[in-house]
Structure 1
Amino acid sequence: MTSWIDAHHHLWDLSAVHYPWLMAKGVTRFFGNPEPIQRNYLFAEFRRDAEARDVAASVHIQVGAEDGLAEAKWVQAVSDAHPDWPMAQVVFCDLTAPDLSARLESFQALPTVRGVRQIVGREPGEDAVTGTNDLLDNPRFVEGLREAGRRGLSFDLQLIPELMGKTAAVLDRAPETKVALCHAGSPHDRSAAGLEDWAEKLRRLSDLPQVTCKLSGLGMFQHDWHLKDFQPIIEVCLDQFGARRCMYGSNFPVDSLYSSYSRLMDAHLAIVPNEMHADVFRTTAAEFYSL
């Protein structure tokens, strides 16, 4: 049996760590109504779904906890309790913080930590309110990226196509830092013109050799998706990045709002050519996150 790696998922125990965005009442997010996932999503449930599709290792991605270090310590405890399941984690750390070195030191005391995610852009409406893309104008941000790279940490990049050009210019200044592009760059406009524009902007990131692309989160902007909806997105990513720079992630439990784990993974397995499966569903993630 071939075993795969899920390179992008979340877990949460609402009694152990507080997630303000998740527990907000009456708020519809860019990915939809979070009410069905306002409950514990623990390792046992994730593992049951993942093992059914031959997944045997994973990468936990930070998910907006009030205290990023508390979340990271909890994830480390989960990993320690399941030594037969290789798990890496990507944590939240503000790369513009004046005490960045000390913060990263604390995270790197946890053996599962491989990288940092600080969201640059989620969706045009939310970004206008939160101002997350102001990061790109902060000179501390690029220095933080460099510091992460010097420490051997990668950066998980979540943004929208509108920010790709500006972000690529920032990443040009931190070429030694490995970058994982989350959710294929969030192509939120699924019209033919929207996908054409996304693909054109994506080229600015795929031209950077330190950037790897995650085939993940594709249901967030099209909840009633069918195989044909994912196909042009995945094909563009494979064409621009190549299989050795693409990796699969379920984005569970967020994507559980729209489909089962099996249906989601089966769709990706059907679209990615068979000869690319080993790279996209295992090797790229194993090498990128040292699993």
Structure 2
Amino acid sequence: MIDAHHHLWDLAMVHYPWLMAKGVERFFGNPFPIQRDYLLREFRADAAAHGVLASVHIQVGAADGLAEAKWVQSVADATPDWPMAQVVFCDLTAPDLDAQLDAFQTLSTVRGVRQIVGRAPGEDALTGTNDLLDNPRFLEGLRLAGQRNLSFDLQLIPELMDQTAQVLEQAPDTKIALCHAGSPHDRTRAGLVDWSTKLHSLSTLPQVTCKLSGLGMFQHNWTVDDVRPIIETCLDQFGPDRCMFGSNFPVDSLYSDYATVFQTHRAIVPQEMHNMVFEETASAFYELLA
């Protein structure tokens, strides 16, 4: 099986400004418990205990995206018995985008890029992240990524789905991985109905695949019944061939242990869909064999 969304960090090798900020509460909670090294050894011990034998590392806000990517490559090279692909950070609006992508694609583990469109309503309002959608260079960058056989990991909130779908329709050859089921942050009944309705704008696009990941970030004391409608809605809209499991560790370790996250997803996803959701979809999307 494959974990299609996790992070690693070695604080002596790569600087993560968001992670090491003191006294800053984030939308996902207080990062203090994870302000320490989180290495493949620890992640692998948790994941392998449940039959996960390969993974996809997702960029996580390093000060230098290329430095992070090179470090992840070194980790993968040092542990060839653990197949690992990676998604790197790259500003798709950068004037030297071609050169940046050239540098990333010298690394054999690189499969895609991520540039966050939306994190949470409050943080987005402060950072202006959503402005990417109005920038024509962002669309040009998406198209270039697809031309280079690079996917794009899309993190956003439901309020941005309709506008984002209009952008993605113009880049049909770029594979899109929707992170964290589209971040349904309003867990009221009305909020989930609104998320589900907006999700259709993305699920109807054939190049979009959905990650069942990060469901604890907006509801820390979640239960199986809380996440069940989210997972079931994603499976209904995308189908198992366009859904893949991701732990979002160590961020989701703030609320749950790996066993709880994994076993919850396994219990909710119907048995006949397990092979697709827990291995085959991710293997095909990221060209990664477990």
Aligned to 2:203: 206
Between the two proteins, the alignment pairs up a number of residues equal to: 288
Q: 1:116 aligns with which of 90, 105, 113?
A: 113
Counterpart mapping for 1:162-181 below 5 A = 162-181=159-178
AA partner of residue 123 (structure 2): E
Counterpart mapping for 1:78-97 below 5 A = 78-97=75-94
Q: Distance in 1 between matches of 2:95 and 2:209?
A: 28
Aligned to 1:280: 277
AA partner of residue 26 (structure 1): G
Q: Does the alignment pair 1:242 with 2:242?
A: no
Q: Does the alignment pair 1:261 with 2:258?
A: yes
Runs (4 or more) in structure 1 with deviation over 2 Å come to none
- Give the drift of 1:244: 0.1
Q: 1:228 aligns with which of 225, 228, 235?
A: 225
- Give the drift of 1:186: 0.0
Aligned to 2:102: 105
- Give the drift of 1:159: 0.1
- Give the drift of 1:145: 0.2
Q: 1:24 aligns with which of 9, 21, 32?
A: 21
Identity of aligned residues (%): 76
Q: 2:125 aligns with which of 125, 128, 132?
A: 128
Q: Distance in 2 between matches of 1:282 and 1:51?
A: 13
AA partner of residue 47 (structure 1): R
Aligned to 2:36: 39
Q: What do you get for the CA RMSD once the two structures are aligned?
A: 0.3
Aligned to 1:219: 216
- How big is each residue's C-alpha offset from its partner over 1:36-79, in whole Å with a ceiling of 9 and x where there is no partner? 00000001000000011110000000000000000000000000
Q: Distance in 1 between matches of 2:176 and 2:250?
A: 23
- How big is each residue's C-alpha offset from its partner over 1:88-129, in whole Å with a ceiling of 9 and x where there is no partner? 000000000001000000000000000000000000000000
- Give the drift of 1:216: 0.1
AA partner of residue 166 (structure 1): Q
Q: Does the alignment pair 1:188 with 2:185?
A: yes
**What runs of 5+ residues in structure 2 fail to find an aligned partner?**
none
- Give the drift of 1:16: 0.3
Q: Distance in 1 between matches of 2:224 and 2:126?
A: 33
- Give the drift of 1:154: 0.1
AA partner of residue 93 (structure 1): C
Aligned to 1:49: 46
Q: TM-score, normalised by structure 1?
A: 0.99
Q: Distance in 1 between matches of 2:147 and 2:138?
A: 14
Aligned to 1:73: 70
